[in-house]
C-alpha cells in the first residue's frame, strides 16, 4: 500500500509502496499529484525503470519538454535528457555539469518548466559513501520568511533571465568545454519574469530569482540589482528552507520547479561515474 512520509523540512516527502513501472490507478495518481503540489519534492526508492517507463510515469503529470541541449537527448526517448559525467569516444554522453549553480529548470524560457523527474542509474561513491548530493530549496517558504516590507518591495517587480549567463559563469570558472551553439542561443533569448511568482495550484507566492539564470532586476541600477539579488539568493538557500538528498541507484526524485530551486554538489570526478535520466514537464508563463 502506498505511503507518503513528510521529511523534517518545509519540502520533501518519501513515497513507498509504489512501483513506478506499473500504470498508476486514478486514485494513486491523484494522491501523488496532491502530495507533489503540497510538498514540492517527492522521493521514490528502489525503482527499476526502462526509458519508456520513465517517460510513461512522468507523462502522467504533464506534457514533456524536449530540452534545448539536443546533443544530450536519449537516442531512443528524446523526452529524456541524459545527465552524466561519463564519456564515450572522448565525448560526454550527457550534461556533465548539470546543476552546478542554484537554478530552476528552464527558468530562461518564456514558459519555464513546471516540473522535472530524475532517475538515478549510476551514483558515484567513495568508501561506500554516495557523492553528488542534490539540495532543493523552497522558494515559497523563503518568500514567506521575508519581512513584509521586503515582500511588498519585490512583489510586482520583474527580472531578466538568460540561459547564456550559466555558460558565461562556467567559462569564468575555468570550464573551456562550456559552449552554446548559435542555434541553441537563438532558441533561448533573454526573457522577463516576475521576481515573485504565484503557484498555479496552491496560490502560494514564491521567490523567482536564481543564481544560474537571473541577470538583473529591472528598474534598478546594476549595483543595487546585484546587491539585492545576492541577498535573495543567500536567503533562499538557508538550511531552514532546504532538503538535501543523498542519491542511491534506483532513486526517482520528482520536483515542482515553481516553488523550488536546486543545486547539484559536484564532489566527484571520473573514474567515479554518475548517470541519471531526466524528463522535464512543460509549464506556463509565470504570473
Length of the chain: 287
Q: How far is CA 267 from CA 11, 178, 234, in A?
A: 24, 19, 21
* Confidence check: pLDDT of 220 > 80: yes
Percent of the residues in the chain that have a pLDDT greater than 90, as a whole number: 82
Give me the chain's average pLDDT, please: 92
For residues 112-123, average pLDDT: 97
pLDDT of residue 166: 62
What the chain holds in terms of domains, given with CATH numbers, is 3-281 (3.60.130.10)
CA angle 167, 108, 267 (to 5 degrees): 45
* Confidence check: pLDDT of 96 > 90: no
- How many Å apart are CA 48 and CA 44, to the nearest integer? 11
pLDDT band at 170 (very low <50, low <70, confident <90, very high): low
Least confident of 101-110, 129-138, 229-238: 101-110
- How many Å apart are CA 128 and CA 122, to the nearest integer? 14
Conformation bin of residue 123: beta by default, left when phi > 0, alpha when psi is -120 to 50 = beta
pLDDT band at 165 (very low <50, low <70, confident <90, very high): low
Report field, pTM of the whole predicted structure over 0.85: yes
Percent of the residues in the chain that have a pLDDT greater than 70, as a whole number: 92
* Confidence check: pLDDT of 105 > 60: yes
* Confidence check: pLDDT of 116 > 90: yes
* Confidence check: pLDDT of 168 > 70: no
Annotated catalytic residues are: 103, 105, 262, 278
Least confident of 94-98, 211-215, 255-259: 94-98
* Confidence check: pLDDT of 171 > 60: no
For residues 21-47, average pLDDT: 96
The C-alpha cell that represents 31 in the structure block: 494522491
What's the helix, strand, coil split of the chain in %, to 5?
25, 30, 45
Residue pLDDT, tens place only, 132-159: 999 999 999 999 999 999 999 999 999 9
Amino acid at each position: 500500500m502506498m505511503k507518503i512520509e513528510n521529511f523534517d523540512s518545509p519540502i520533501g516527502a518519501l513515497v513507498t509502496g509504489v512501483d513506478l513501472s506499473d500504470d498508476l490507478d486514478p486514485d494513486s495518481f491523484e494522491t501523488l499529484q496532491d502530495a507533489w503540489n503540497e510538498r514540492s519534492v517527492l522521493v521514490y526508492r528502489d525503482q527499476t525503470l526502462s526509458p519508456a517507463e520513465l517517460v510513461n510515469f512522468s507523462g502522467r503529470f504533464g506534457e514533456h519538454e524536449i530540452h534545448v541541449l539536443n546533443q544530450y537527448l536519449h537516442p531512443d526517448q528524446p523526452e529524456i535528457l541524459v545527465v552524466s559525467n561519463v564519456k564515450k569516444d572522448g565525448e560526454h554522453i550527457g550534461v556533465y555539469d548539470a546543476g552546478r549553480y542554484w537554478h530552476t529548470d528552464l527558468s530562461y524560457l518564456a514558459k519555464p518548466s513546471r516540473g522535472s523527474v530524475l532517475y538515478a542509474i549510476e551514483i558515484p561513491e567513495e568508501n561506500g559513501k554516495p557523492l553528488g548530493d542534490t539540495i532543493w530549496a523552497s522558494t515559497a517558504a523563503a518568500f514567506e520568511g521575508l519581512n513584509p516590507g521586503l515582500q511588498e518591495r519585490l512583489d510586482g517587480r520583474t527580472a531578466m533571465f538568460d540561459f547564456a549567463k550559466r555558460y558565461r559563469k562556467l567559462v569564468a570558472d575555468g570550464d573551456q568545454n562550456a559552449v552554446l551553439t548559435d542555434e541553441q542561443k537563438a532558441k533561448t533569448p533573454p526573457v522577463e519574469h516576475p521576481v515573485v511568482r504565484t503557484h498555479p495550484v496552491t496560490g502560494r507566492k514564491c521567490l523567482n530569482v536564481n543564481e544560474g539564470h537571473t541577470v538583473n532586476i529591472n528598474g534598478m541600477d546594476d549595483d543595487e540589482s546585484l546587491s539585492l539579488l545576492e541577498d535573495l539568493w543567500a536567503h533562499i538557500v538557508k538550511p531552514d528552507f532546504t532538503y538535501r538528498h543523498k542519491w542511491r541507484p534506483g532513486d526517482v526524485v520528482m520536483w515542482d520547479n515553481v516553488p523550488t530551486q536546486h543545486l547539484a554538489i559536484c564532489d566527484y570526478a571520473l573514474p567515479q561515474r554518475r548517470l541519471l535520466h531526466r524528463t522535464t514537464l512543460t509549464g506556463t508563463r509565470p504570473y
